[in-house]
Chain A
Amino acid sequence: MNDTVIQVRDLTTGYDEEVILNNVSFDVHRGEIFIILGGSGCGKSTLLRHMVGLRQPYRGKVLIEGKDVVTAEGREREGILRKFGVLFQSSALLSSMTLAENVALPLQEYTHLPRHMIDFLVRAKLGMVGLRGYEGYLPDQLSGGMKKRAGIARAIALDPEILFFDEPSAGLDPVTSSNLDDLIIQLNASLGTTMVVVTHELPSIYAIAHRVIMLDKRTKKIIAEGRPSDLRDKSADPFVRDFFNRQVREGLYS
């Protein structure tokens, strides 16, 4: 089987007249934790939205296991979408449903299992993310970290091969955020799920990343690719080294 799960080729995109990413190409390998990072406004979340097929690029392709997520339609598109789960920045749980109903939603739509089996699976999934006993809670009644966990439970309901995370640690305290990192690592190790994570939290990056790409706002391209520790110590680009060492250099961030 091919080792590359996601191929992004010559992706150019932006909003209205403004180009945000120009000719970006990279691969994501099976089973790795792949991180897209960069400063605020460099287009990392936009890139993620392209990878999950929510936006149309100006030019270029996103292939998931060789199939174009942008042009696919109907059953083919459904098939591609089934391969991945997404955790959105705000968790995006349906606010009128309990956690159990949120997680059950994809199971009810895509399997023919009877109700009690779905309940059983839902509890297992919530148990996996450490939310056993919270089945009947509404999203409003939970803390930010718990919502993220519930979002993950919903994303993994159908055992996707790929999980996308949009800034999983945004708005979480360091302890909660590190627990979430542990969960990501655990899921990756036990299920072999490929993870694509958008973040700019350095501790997270060091904790979980197998490989990162770094986007740059000015050149609108990938300016670095590799393991985070290598980039910190060996990168030729001072901007990249600064990012990983948390140094501020005058003028560079303007």
Chain B
Amino acid sequence: MKKTKIDPGYNISVAETGPERLHLILSGNLHTENCALLLNDLKTRLSGKPPRDIELDFGGVDYLDSSAAAVIAQAKFSLQKRGAYNVKLTNIKPEIQKLFNILNLDSLLREGARIRERRPGLFTQVGTASIKFAKDTAFTCGYLGDVTLGLGHAIRHPNKIRWSDVFLYVERTGIEAIPIVLLISFLVGFIMAFQAAVQLKQFGADIFVANLVGLTVVRELGPLMTAIIVAGRSGAAFAAEIGTMKVSEEIDALESMGLNPTRFLIIPKIIATLVTLPTLTLMADMVGIFGGLVVGVLFLDLTPWGYILQTERALDFFDVFTGYFKSIVFAILISGIGCMRGLQVEGGAQGVGRFTTSAVVSGIFLIIVSDALFTLMFNYVKW
């Protein structure tokens, strides 16, 4: 609340007061800044049972804006409701009167001042949610079909793929991601080796740090960490990009030109991710193992060569293959869900934010769930 010491910029004086009649003279400027004060002022002066006749004299008011006009109109209305028979606003300067006229406040007050908010009932909410679920499901099915057709088309007509876009996205999703992927996988390998070393040292099994790090990185953490990084970087970027295009009607424009948005926008992104994510994963595998090697050499007195030999012995082709295969699936999931969330955007800027978030969250969710399924599956497949 404002301090009361400050000059409010207006003045109210009482010209006549009595049980039957009240005459107030207002002067000064009434505007946005002081209309809240005016509102309180009028409330205190006019509380209780009002007299029959009330005159508000605006002779001294030089300037009055619409906020103040609203305050006055509200005061007049509430006085009339509480039994003041005759409330008059007098001596209003012509400019100010024009403002009162154009604002048309009295008719608004008779309608009721509040803006009614539409709050749907439980029944409506359940219904709306169900319809939304059905629509989303239909959309997902349609989208999956579109993407499958688009990929099929791309395989049959490789020259129709927009290769310049593919290269652009290879750069965005792959090359630009190399530093962060390498740093994180190095640290993951390093940390894991360190923790393992502490335990294994107790049994004199130092060398098996290489087995542990090698297997975990190549089979699980390499593909998983890389996929999560790419989901956060590129899945979000895809959703934001396509979502913004949707909001600004660019998708509609493509469609009306007879260009299939799936083929035009989504297929290049999926192909690019299919190229980059498995490659990044292999890099992450190597750097993760290197992180373990650094721990082995620095803290466990292993020789680099010995560590590498032990890693080689621990891993077979199948281990590397499962990681690589998983990353291919992750690539489809990340780019697919990113683009899909982009297409689902509605409701302007906030919608873009919401669906970008959703692209990352559902991307990571799908990665983890499918990883769990793969782990179970490979467990049975392995010879």
Contacts and interface: CB of A to CB of B under 8 A. Distances in A.
Interface string A108-120: 0011111011011
B114 A119 contact: yes
A138 interface: yes
Given A96-B350, A100-B115, A121 B102 contact: no
Which range contains the number of B residues in contact with the other chain?
A: 35 or more
A124 B105 contact: yes
A158 to B, nearest CB: 6
Interface string B3-34: 00000000000000000000000000001110
A208 interface: no
A121 B349 contact: no
A107 B118 contact: no
Which among A113, A120, A135 has the greatest number of chain B C-beta atoms within 10 A? Answer: A120
Given A95-B348, A111-B35, A123-B115, A190 B70 contact: no
A95 B354 CA distance: 13
Contacts of B350: 95-96
Given A120-B113, A121-B67, A158 B102 contact: no
B108 A124 contact: yes
A140 interface: yes
B288 to A, nearest CB: 42
Contacts of B66: 121, 124-125, 156, 159
Nearest to A160: B65
A175 B355 CA distance: 38
B74 interface: yes
Interface of B: 1-2, 31-33, 35-36, 39, 65-67, 70-71, 74, 95, 98-99, 101-105, 108-109, 113-118, 247, 346-351
Given A95-B347, A159-B32, 6 more contacts: A96-B349, A120-B105, A124-B108, A136-B116, A158-B67, A159-B31
Interface of A: 94-96, 100, 107, 110-114, 116-117, 119-125, 127-128, 135-136, 138-140, 156, 158-159, 186, 190-192
